[in-house]
Structure 1
Amino acid sequence: MDRVALRGLRARGYHGVFPHERQEGQTFVVDLTLGLDTRPAAADDDLAKTVHYGIVAEEVVGVVEGEPVNLIETLAERIARTCLKHDGVQEVEVSVHKPNAPIAVPFDDVTVTITRSRV
């Protein structure tokens, strides 16, 4: 299976369990790896035969900016479902980063990574 990756998609969301997270929001960062067969697109040099990663990026940003959830696990699941709606995408790995998570000790990032497939 071939891979198309998008790294560092940034969007402001209002996800989290604390009231200030829901009121103030914060930046979330998403990395995606889409699994699909790119041979038909490459053979014909045809965008219609692969996944349009620009559209995927816009949809993922829409999910992050959309309805708030408590957990980034839930956010990752919603993003995975959105990606799998695209014809040809057989598998997706989603990493959601929450670099400004409310943690009392110094840290660089909090990340949840999931893999989902059509099967």
Structure 2
Amino acid sequence: MDKIKVNQMMFYGYHGLFAEENKLGQRFNVDVELMGDFRKAGQTDRMEDSIDYGKVYEVTKGIMEGKAHNLLESLAESIAQSMFESFSLLDVISVYIDKPGPPIPGYYQSVGVEVTRKRSDYEA
């Protein structure tokens, strides 16, 4: 299976359980790994045969800078589902969301959530 990786996309959002997070917002980093058969793109050199990295960013941005979520898990799930809706060539996706300096007791560089989903997870 082929992979396209878009790493360290940065967004400012208002996600979290605490009122301060929803009011002040904070930075989030997102990595996505998109898996499928992209062999045709390698042979034809045509964007139509692959997944547009710019559109991956725009789909992710719409969620990360959109409606507030309490949990990183919910954000990651929304991104995964939206990617399947946007890209017919996508078979499997991993989404990692990193939250630097979380407002929880202790000293952390960051906390994060990673989900991996298959297209069949969304088919009825």
TM-score class normalised by the smaller sequence: over 0.9
Look up the match of 1:64.
64
Unaligned runs of 5+ in 1: none
1:96 partner SS: strand
Look up the match of 2:49.
49
- Output the TM-score relative to the length of structure 1: 0.97
Look up the match of 2:10.
10
Tell whether the 8 Å contact from 1:29 to 1:96 is kept in structure 2 after alignment.
yes
> Which amino acid in structure 2 is aligned with residue 102 of structure 1?
P
1:40 partner SS: helix
- Output the TM-score relative to the length of structure 2: 0.93
Look up the match of 1:78.
78
Identity of aligned residues (%): 36
Q: Can you list the C-alpha shifts for 1:37-93, whole angstroms capped at 9, x where unaligned?
A: 111111111110110011111110111000001000000100111111211011100
Q: Can you list the C-alpha shifts for 1:18-51, whole angstroms capped at 9, x where unaligned?
A: 1110000001100100001111111111110110
Structure 1: how far apart are the matches of 2:55 and 2:42? Answer: 19
Which runs of structure 1 show a deviation greater than 4 angstroms over 4 or more consecutive aligned residues? none
2:7 partner SS: strand
Unaligned runs of 5+ in 2: none
Tell whether the 8 Å contact from 1:27 to 1:100 is kept in structure 2 after alignment.
no
Look up the match of 1:111.
112
How large is the RMSD of aligned CA atoms in angstroms? 0.8
Look up the match of 2:32.
32
1:54 partner SS: helix
Look up the match of 1:90.
91
